[in-house]
Amino acid sequence: MNVQSLAFLAFLTVTVCACRLLGKKRRTWALLAASLVFYLWNGTPAAWWGCGLLLVSSAVSLLAANRLRKDRRKGVFLAAVCYHIVVLGAFKYTGFLTGGAVQTPFVPLGISFFTFQQIWYLREVYAGTFSQVPTPAEYLTYSFFFPTVSSGPILKPGNFFPQLRETSPLPQDTAAGLYAIGLGLAKKVLLADNLGVLVNNGWGSLSELTALTAWCVILGYTLQLYFDFSGYCDLAAGCARLLGLRLPINFDSPYRSLSVAEFWKRWHMTLTAFLRENVYFPLGGSRKGRGRTYLNILVVYLVSGIWHGAGWTFILWGLLHGLAQVLERLWGKRRDALPRWVRWAMTFLFINLAWVFFRAPDVSSALLLLKTAVTGGMGGIRLWLVNGLFRREISALELLLPVIGPYTAYLRVALILGIGLLAALWPRNVIRQMDTFRPNWRSGLYVLVWTVWAILSFTGVVTFIYSNF
């Protein structure tokens, strides 16, 4: 189901009403039914086969966990984890590993998030840090929870299951949830999707870019990815809050970071937590000497790159982030002594450049864009770069102010990049605001305007970027 659609808003309304009318005891069944409807909404064979596969994988996790509670055999734990990794690898990486010679007929929606979530559950049961025994309905709700199934955040079992049994929606949850949903829609539709227009136009004509336009494309994707993922996290948190559940914070103003290490404490925080607890610590963390610590960091971010996508560009992106953190550690206190604005500028520049590999279809295209950004020469903004960007809004503005016609290309770029930077660096975290949110007529009007504008501007972009991973 397309989250940015009237159909989803209607589906959410029905789900919230059903959960509240049925009460806490029957809420799990309502959430499970809604989650399966969400997953199977399109009715395609791929959706049905994907759902069936994830149901089987959930059953494997349940059976393994029941066995581990009786006898914590390492072999059972490793066998279950290997099963999930093999399934993920078979459906997501077969094409990459075979050079395209063999392709799977479909990739289950959200399988990357699903796999890490299953592994997290198994590890906590094996370690004895999670003792609650969920019912099959509760566990399937954990696996298919519709606000998080496609793009996260990755749910830690110790945080999710107690809420499912014990919490109920509070009066203030409704206002806070609607606030987050409204701002999430605005981030996705008004910012991310419009930035995507600029970015796609640029990547579609790499050979025609100048240095200036190349940097516009680079910065545009940095902001597009942020608002796409951050917007989804706000939407997911808002939907969950309407249902009486609190999701973990997954974003905390990451572009304010003064180091790459700090960036990963703020960006996709649940993924960072998973990799720290399930990869970095088991490898020895920082307890086995400096050289081993650096190697462990590289392994963690190699895993992060592979998890994000099947391609050399993702692997290179992950290794770049690992190497950056190793270099920061080697630099040590001398780097910390630099002015804050210098550390921020260095970090933000690196993140922008690394995202090029994340977006690029191949390494050669990424290198071409980076080369153009340095040697592309001077030149203005071409009209084709902003074709489709704020189309309806600019048309209305030109009717009111015909004199701006020749400058609309510059106006669109300056508007989208300027507003994007300001919105990424200045406001408080939306999910943090929800905990202390108190509705009033100003905030209500504010959210209403953004929500209506977003609904009227639904672009037809049916996926969030992270739902492809």
How far is Cα 173 from Cα 145, in angstroms, rounded to an integer?
A: 18
Indicate if the pLDDT at residue 96 is higher than 70: yes
Half-sphere exposure at residue 183, Cβ-oriented, CA atoms within 13 angstroms: 22
Specify the 3-state DSSP secondary structure of 428.
coil
Calculate ∠ Cα 31-112-201, nearest 5°: 105
Mean confidence (pLDDT) of the chain: 88
Distant-in-sequence, close-in-space partners of 329: CB < 8 Å, separation ≥ 6: 293, 294
- 128, part of any domain: yes
Indicate if the pLDDT at residue 401 is higher than 80: no
80 and 215, same domain (yes or no): no
Which residues, in sequence order, are bridge partners of residue 251? 267
Among candidate residues 168, 150, 160, the one with its CA nearest the CA of residue 107: 150
182 and 85, same domain (yes or no): no
205 and 243, same domain (yes or no): yes
Q: Take residue 441 and report the two structure tokens written for it.
A: 């007529």
Give the least confident one: 285-299, 377-391, 436-450.
377-391
Calculate ∠ Cα 228-229-235, nearest 5°: 90
150 and 208, same domain (yes or no): no
List, for residues 113-144, the tens digit of each pLDDT value. Answer: 999 999 999 999 999 888 889 999 999 999 99
- pLDDT, residue 464, reads 64
List, for residues 40-86, the tens digit of each pLDDT value. Answer: 998 888 899 999 999 999 999 999 999 998 888 889 999 999 999 99
Domain boundary among 103, 133, 168: 168
Q: Are 121 and 64 in contact (CB under 8 A)?
A: no
Indicate if the pLDDT at residue 359 is higher than 80: yes
72 and 198, same domain (yes or no): no
Residue 277: in which H helix or E strand, if any?
Answer: none
- 213, part of any domain: yes
Domain boundary among 149, 168, 187: 168
- pLDDT, residue 360, reads 94
Give the least confident one: 43-52, 309-318, 459-468.
459-468
Among candidate residues 249, 201, 250, the one with its CA nearest the CA of residue 221: 201
116 and 184, same domain (yes or no): no
- pLDDT, residue 295, reads 95
How far is Cα 25 from Cα 312, in angstroms, rounded to an integer?
A: 48
- 80, part of any domain: yes
- 238, part of any domain: yes
Q: Take residue 326 and report the two structure tokens written for it.
A: 């190793």
Q: Give the position of tokens 């305007």.
A: 449
134 and 15, same domain (yes or no): yes
**Cis-peptide, bond into residue 169, ω within 30° of zero:** no
Domain count, the chain: 2
Indicate if the pLDDT at residue 13 is higher than 90: yes
Among candidate residues 72, 162, 74, 77, the one with its CA nearest the CA of residue 118: 77
- pLDDT, residue 123, reads 94
- 295, part of any domain: no
Domain boundary among 144, 168, 192: 168
161 and 231, same domain (yes or no): no
List, for residues 162-199, the tens digit of each pLDDT value. Answer: 988 876 777 788 888 999 999 999 899 889 988 998 99
- H-assigned helices in 186-332: 193-203, 211-242, 260-266, 269-275, 290-308, 312-331
Distances (CA, A) of 144 to 12, 117, 152: 15, 11, 11
115 and 214, same domain (yes or no): no
- The reported pTM is 0.91
- Average pLDDT rounded to a whole number, residues 346-368: 96
List, for residues 380-395, the tens digit of each pLDDT value. Answer: 777 778 777 776 666 5
Q: Which of 84, 268, 308, 321 is catalytic?
A: 308
- 145, part of any domain: yes
155 and 10, same domain (yes or no): yes
163 and 25, same domain (yes or no): yes
84 and 192, same domain (yes or no): no
Q: Are 193 and 425 in contact (CB under 8 A)?
A: no
Specify the 3-state DSSP secondary structure of 267.
strand
Q: Which domain holds residue 88?
A: 6-168
Distances (CA, A) of 288 to 28, 164, 302, 362: 44, 40, 20, 36
- pLDDT, residue 468, reads 59
- 297, part of any domain: no
Among candidate residues 268, 461, 257, the one with its CA nearest the CA of residue 352: 257
- Average pLDDT rounded to a whole number, residues 368-386: 83
pLDDT band at 412 (very low <50, low <70, confident <90, very high): confident
If one counts every other C-beta atom within 10 angstroms of the C-beta of residue 281, the result is: 13
- 364, part of any domain: no
Active site residue 321: no
